[in-house]
Amino acid sequence: MLLEFGARNFFSFKEGFDFSLELNGNCPENISKGKKVANIMCLKGANASGKTNTLRAMAFIKYLCTESYNNDPKMDIPFEKFFDSTENTDLFCRFAIGDKIYLYEVSLSKNEILSEELSFDDTEKFIFKRQNDTLTYVADDFKELEQVRIRSKVSVINSARQGEFNSLNDIFTFFENVITNVTEYGLSNFHLDQSLICENYRNKQDRFAKVKELLFNADTGIVDVRIARSLSPKGDIQFYPVFYHEYNEKKYPVPIWYESSGTRKLFYDLALYYMALDNGGVLLLDEFDINLHPDILPMLINLFDSAEENPHNAQMIFSTHDTAIMDHLGKYRTYLVNKKNNESYGYRLDEIPGDILRNDRPVSTPYRNGKIGGVPKIV
């Protein structure tokens, strides 16, 4: 499980931020359900406050650990510092695999990884330390890493995987199971292979049945969805959905491009939801509520809040402009992002001192009144 992550001198965050999913002892039992780590966390804030950049930090850590090897070595590392800053950028991530807690830390410039460390967070015992292109320390149980070819813009974790060194496979898999619609350029769904999503639905009928049930609940006209296939101009098999609507006891096929934007979004995004649920992964979604009716949102969130639907403790972190979600999740599972002088900063609502926020009162009221931040300044 993801416990915490953060960054400094990263896009709009100059001094940095710490985004924690760990729940403190004051969190009510009906929210924590006996767990010490939240399965759901909501990001709220005004437009351009830094919500996407918060998610982008964790998405970038995933990129470093699982995809950086594939990038052109002549290209800059794909991130931005805070405006004209000449300082290094620092990122970290704490996470648990089984009963082991790990801390991953990296410091970098646009041109190279300057330092990189992986340790057991609870014991502070290092697995490896890297300075520029040199491994300066490798723990006894991980000696095979000394044979890894280090590249200036590639994480040791990704290099080890590429070289088929197996000692970091669990670490690589954790980051691989971070699923997101956030890229270097922010929110994007263009990286989704729609034919592959349809093929997965076709091959996993139990999951597809649940997807269809959710679609039936969200769309008043759909009575069935089937996966069809055709040949591309190159002769490749392509899969695509066909939706069926009923009128006068007859079913009519409707191609997806004639469906509503909300239905199209749900059909493809639910593949990401169930990918995370199946693997016990982390789902990072920017503006997950786009094109969706507000009443549908709790239904989606509850997939991660339900022990039955989420037996592998998958987690969901999302940004939204829907204020009612704050009351659904409360102060322990809502993180606000603000901006001052073009510098972003964030905090979880239960970090606010005093009694402005109480467990028995809606969070949305003081939020709308501007008492806790995170709202636009409209004159």
pLDDT (tens digit, 9 = 90+) per residue, 235-283? 889 999 999 999 998 999 999 889 988 898 899 899 999 999 999 999 9
Mean pLDDT, rounded, of the chain: 91
Digit-coded pLDDT (tens) for 79-129: 999 999 999 999 999 999 999 999 999 999 999 999 999 999 877 799 999
CB–CB of 303/207 below 8 Å?
no
pTM: 0.93
pLDDT value of position 189 = 66
List Cα–Cα distances, 222 to 87, 208, 210, 215, 293, in angstroms.
54, 15, 14, 7, 16
**Mean local confidence (pLDDT), 339-366:** 84
Query: Which residues touch 207 (CB under 8 Å, ≥6 apart)?
Result: 200, 201, 274, 278
pLDDT value of position 190 = 56
The two counts, helices (H) then strands (E), for the chain are: 10, 18
pLDDT value of position 237 = 92
Rounded CA-CA distance 297/286 in Å is 14
In the Cβ-directed half-sphere of 368, how many Cα atoms lie within 13 Å? 10
In the Cβ-directed half-sphere of 267, how many Cα atoms lie within 13 Å? 29
Residue 379 pLDDT greater than 80, yes or no? no
Q: Which residue from 359, 282, 350, 356 is spatially nearest to 23, judged by alpha carbons?
A: 350
Taken in order 149, 152, 156, 162, the sign of the CA dihedral is negative
Could you tell me the domains of the chain? 2-177+280-368 (3.40.50), 194-264 (no CATH)
Rounded CA-CA distance 104/126 in Å is 10
- State which of 123-127, 145-149, 351-355 shows the largest mean pLDDT: 145-149
pLDDT value of position 88 = 97
Q: Which residue from 104, 58, 61, 110 is spatially nearest to 82, judged by alpha carbons?
A: 110
pLDDT value of position 191 = 58
- State which of 73-77, 155-159, 212-216, 245-249 shows the largest mean pLDDT: 155-159
Report the 3 state secondary structure along 282-304: EEEECCCCCCCCHHHHHHHHHHH
pLDDT value of position 233 = 85
- Name 138's bridge partners: 128
pLDDT value of position 338 = 93
pLDDT value of position 378 = 59
